[in-house]
Structure 1
Amino acid sequence: MIGFTFSFGTILFLIVIVIVASSIRVFREYERGVVFLLGRFWKVKGPGLVLIMPVVQQVVRIDLRTIVFDVPPQDVITRDNVSVKVNAVVYFRVVDPEKAVIQVARFMEATSQLSQTTLRAVLGKHELDALLAEREQLNADIQKTLDAQTDAWGIKVSNVEIKHVDINESMIRAIARQAEAERERRAKIIHADGELQASQKLLQAAQTLAQEPQAMHLRYLQTLTTIAADKNSTIVFPLPIDLLNTLLTRR
């Protein structure tokens, strides 16, 4: 049996080694440590090698990278009373580790819940047409509202993107009918505008021909040339009304 004897100095040295080893923390470039001294906030440390005294100090590790999470589909009633399901994706990051730890419990869950309520609140103020056509503006509105509310938590919401808008089948058919009616309206307007332009051009042409009587006879001859080129057996020759009036007057 072999006996081991330890002096007081050796034991003390081993205790110091254990304490130092347990107090070493290494924080990556994108991490910070919120240090509490006897339960009170002390400072934010990192990145790199950090010493934390056991028992006396506690540290909470915070990731500063951009976090991405999906907002579950939310039932939204638009301003024109249309029920839709909308889901989105939110990009945010911690800019103040102290606030993210002290001002809110579980900032990830808090931001997620706030994103859901903000999505419903902002989209509920707009009509369905705006929800479908002005998505970039709605993204900016949601991001601005959400960022203002999370600023007290030390969180910066950098971007919000609406991913999908789910509409029921009956509303899809109604939108299709509306789009068809809109296309027909535009076609009628274009046709009417063409008729108006054509009438204006005809009026200008009539006024030009009326300035010189010989111009009308030249136009008749040009019309006859065009008809003869088609090898027609029958030629309808337009007779001026003025000539007929002259003949009737002589009788």
Structure 2
Amino acid sequence: MIEALLVTVVCVLAMLLVLAAASVRVLREYERAVVFRLGRVIDTKGPGLVLLVPAIDRMVRISLRTVTLNVPPQDVITHDNVPVRVDAVVYFRVVDPKCAVVQVESFLKATSQIAQTTLRSVLGKADLDSLLAERETLNEELQKIIDEQTEPWGVKVTTVEIKDVGIPPAMQHAMARQAQAERERRAKIINAEGEFQAAARLGEAADVISKNPTTIQLRYLQTISEIGKDNSTVVFPLPMDLIKPLLEAGRPELPRGNEASPLVNGQPSEHARS
């Protein structure tokens, strides 16, 4: 008799422990529980200890942490008919656990599909140059569109980032040639501007020097000193106006009767023959 009573007590305690284990849940700080009672949502509970009615209540656990969703690479044809392969990353979190459970079957899968279709749609309207140079604008547009579509599900999209843009090799070579041509054009423009400024400065310096003969002599002496720094032989350039009188003084004078007769077609002129 006593043994039967002990067995009964043990069975009752075991059943109570099983029921307690089935009715008690502990949620972390970032978790919430959507409780269904006989198929109807009654409340959103958590964090901490949650008590459920065994065999009547059912709980769906939802995390409120930010989820990093990698969007698979998408083949996109840009507005200027350039095929590219683009992949992105989406950051989102659940802000309404009840809507995330009731309004959509799988908010994670649904958000991924929306991100893929929106990525192809938005980037297909942009040019290749815009896709490469204006990523921040495109990221903001993608985030706004995806967030509007996931809002009824209780999902908040915080950030969308385009990670990589794959360009065909032929297009990469064309872009490299274009960039090289652009750099050469800028180099030529800079050289032309430098020559123009140098010529203008030289013209201004010439105007200043021409007004004062002393500056010409100073510049002449400065040039001689610069030439003599690395050379043992120094060449003194002299103006022809200074040398010409010396040359004329050293030239012998011819008698008047011995002056050279002018020639006409290789023969003395008639005036010379007479």
Could you tell which deviates more after superposition, 210-219 or 108-117? 210-219
Q: Match of 2:144?
A: 144
How many angstroms does 1:196 deviate by? 1.3
Counterpart-to-counterpart distance in 2, 1:131 and 1:12: 69
Q: Match of 2:98?
A: 98
Letter in 2 for 1:45: K
Aligned counterparts, 1:70-89, within 5 A: 70-89=70-89
Counterpart-to-counterpart distance in 1, 2:198 and 2:151: 62
Q: Match of 2:261?
A: none
Does structure 1 conserve the Cα–Cα contact (< 8 Å) formed by 2:227 and 2:234?
A: no
Flag the 1:118–1:239 CA change in 2: closer, same or farther, 3 A: farther
Counterpart-to-counterpart distance in 1, 2:131 and 2:110: 26
Flag the 1:5–1:222 CA change in 2: closer, same or farther, 3 A: closer
Letter in 2 for 1:160: V
| Greater C-alpha radius of gyration | 2
Is 2:202 the partner of 1:202? yes
Q: Match of 1:247?
A: none
Counterpart-to-counterpart distance in 2, 1:148 and 1:156: 9
Letter in 1 for 2:205: A
Counterpart-to-counterpart distance in 1, 2:215 and 2:125: 66
Q: Match of 2:108?
A: 108
Could you tell which deviates more after superposition, 32-41 or 194-203? 32-41
Flag the 1:238–1:46 CA change in 2: closer, same or farther, 3 A: farther
Q: Match of 2:191?
A: 191
How many angstroms does 1:4 deviate by? 3.8
How many angstroms does 1:228 deviate by? 4.5
Identity of aligned residues (%): 54
How many angstroms does 1:233 deviate by? 6.2
Aligned counterparts, 1:1-251, within 5 A: 4=4, 18-229=18-229, 230-232=231-233, 234-239=235-240
Does structure 2 conserve the Cα–Cα contact (< 8 Å) formed by 1:28 and 1:47?
A: yes
Flag structure 1 segments of 5+ consecutive residues without an equivalent.
245-251
For each residue in 1:40-74, what CA deviation from the matched residue of structure 2 results, as whole angstroms up to 9, or x when unmatched? Answer: 32210111221222343332111122222211110
How many angstroms does 1:232 deviate by? 4.0
Q: Secondary structure at the match of 2:194?
A: helix
How many angstroms does 1:87 deviate by? 0.9
Does structure 2 conserve the Cα–Cα contact (< 8 Å) formed by 1:77 and 1:124?
A: yes
Q: Secondary structure at the match of 1:217?
A: helix
Flag the 1:223–1:237 CA change in 2: closer, same or farther, 3 A: farther
Flag the 1:233–1:24 CA change in 2: closer, same or farther, 3 A: closer
For each residue in 1:129-176, what CA deviation from the matched residue of structure 2 results, as whole angstroms up to 9, or x when unmatched? Answer: 232233344333322332232222111222222222211110111011
Root mean square deviation, CA, Å: 3.1
Q: So what's the TM-score if we normalise by structure 1?
A: 0.82
Flag the 1:55–1:219 CA change in 2: closer, same or farther, 3 A: same
Flag the 1:232–1:28 CA change in 2: closer, same or farther, 3 A: same
For each residue in 1:169-210, what CA deviation from the matched residue of structure 2 results, as whole angstroms up to 9, or x when unmatched? Answer: 101110110111011011101101101110121121122113
For each residue in 1:2-47, what CA deviation from the matched residue of structure 2 results, as whole angstroms up to 9, or x when unmatched? Answer: 98479x9999887666544422222222211111233332210111
Flag structure 2 segments of 5+ consecutive residues without an equivalent.
246-274
Q: So what's the TM-score if we normalise by structure 2?
A: 0.75
Q: Secondary structure at the match of 2:54?
A: coil
Counterpart-to-counterpart distance in 1, 2:141 and 2:118: 10
Flag the 1:5–1:204 CA change in 2: closer, same or farther, 3 A: same
Does structure 2 conserve the Cα–Cα contact (< 8 Å) formed by 1:224 and 1:237?
A: no
